[in-house]
Amino acid sequence: MSGRELPLRIHAFQSMGTVDGPGVRAVIFTQGCPLRCACCHNPDTWDPRGGEETDIDTLIRRIERCRPYFGPRGGVTVSGGEPLMQAEALLPLFRRLREKGIHTALDTSGCRLDDAVRALLAETDLVLLDYKYTNDEDYRRYVGMPMAGADRFLACLQEMEKETWLRHVYIPGLNDNDDSLARLQEIGEAHSCVSRIEILPFRRLCLEKYAELGIPFPLADTPEPTAADLTVLREKYPMLFI
C-alpha cells in the first residue's frame, strides 16, 4: 500500500458488470451502510465490520485485468453498501483511475455530504444517485433518512455540474402512483446535471439472504411489477429509462 492511502473494506468485486453505469464495468461493492432501505437487496453489506479489507494497489491490479473488456464506454463503478462511508479511502483509488484514463462511477444514496465527499465527487465522472421516493414521509419510513439529504446531495451535483443518473426502484403500492412518477420526472428535468432517469423494477430475489441472516424482509409480501405494468409505465413516461 502506497503513501497515506487507507485500506478499503469491500463486500464483493464483480468483473463484468453491465447494469451499474455505461458499458462493461468492474463493480466494487463496499461494506457498511447506515441506512435500512425497505427494498434493500444486500443486507449482508450493512455491517461495517463485515466483508474483507483490501488495499488500493490490489484493487488496481484487479481492475487492470478487466480493462480490455471496458471498451470505449465502460470503467469502474463503486457501489455498496454505501460507498460514501469510505469516501476518504476511495479518493486515492478514483484519483489513480482518472490518471489511467478509466471512467469512474459512484452509486450512492447521497446520505453523506462533507469535504471528504466533495473531494471524491471532484474525481468522479458519473454519479448514480439512488433517489428512492418523492416525499419526506416515505423517505424517513422506508429509507431511514430525510428526503432533504438526497435533495441537498443532488443540489451539490448540480452545482458541480457532475453528470448524474437518477436511479429509482419502482415498488408496487409505494411509489408506483402517477403523482410520484410525475414528480420524479420533474425533479430530473429541473436539474441539468441529470442525463438519465433509470427505473429499476422491484424484485424479491433477496428473500433467501434475509432468511439466512435471520432478518425479516420488510417488503416480503409486496408483489413484483409485471411486464404489463412496465409496458404501461414506458407508454406514460417515455423519458424514464426502464
* pLDDT tens track, the chain, 242 positions: 445 789 999 999 999 999 999 999 999 999 999 999 999 999 999 999 999 999 999 999 999 999 999 999 999 999 999 999 999 999 999 999 999 999 999 999 999 999 999 999 999 999 999 999 999 999 999 999 999 999 999 999 999 999 999 999 999 999 999 999 999 999 999 999 999 999 999 999 999 999 999 999 999 999 999 999 999 999 988 888 88
Strands 126-130 and 25-30, bridge-based pairing: unpaired
What pLDDT is attached to residue 3? 53
What pLDDT is attached to residue 1? 42
Taken in order 220, 32, 56, 22, is the CA torsion positive or negative? positive
Query: Do the beta carbons of residue 53 and residue 30 sit within 8 Å?
Result: no
Q: What is the residue-wise DSSP string for 54-68? A: E-HHHHHHHHHHHGG
What pLDDT is attached to residue 242? 82
**Distance from C-alpha of 21 to C-alpha of 106, rounded to nearest angstrom:** 9
What pLDDT is attached to residue 72? 92
What pLDDT is attached to residue 2? 45
Give whole-number Cα distances, 31 to 10, 14, 49, 52, 123, in Å: 5, 14, 8, 8, 21
Indicate the SS3 state at residue 105. strand
Q: How far is CA 24 from the centre of its chain?
A: 16
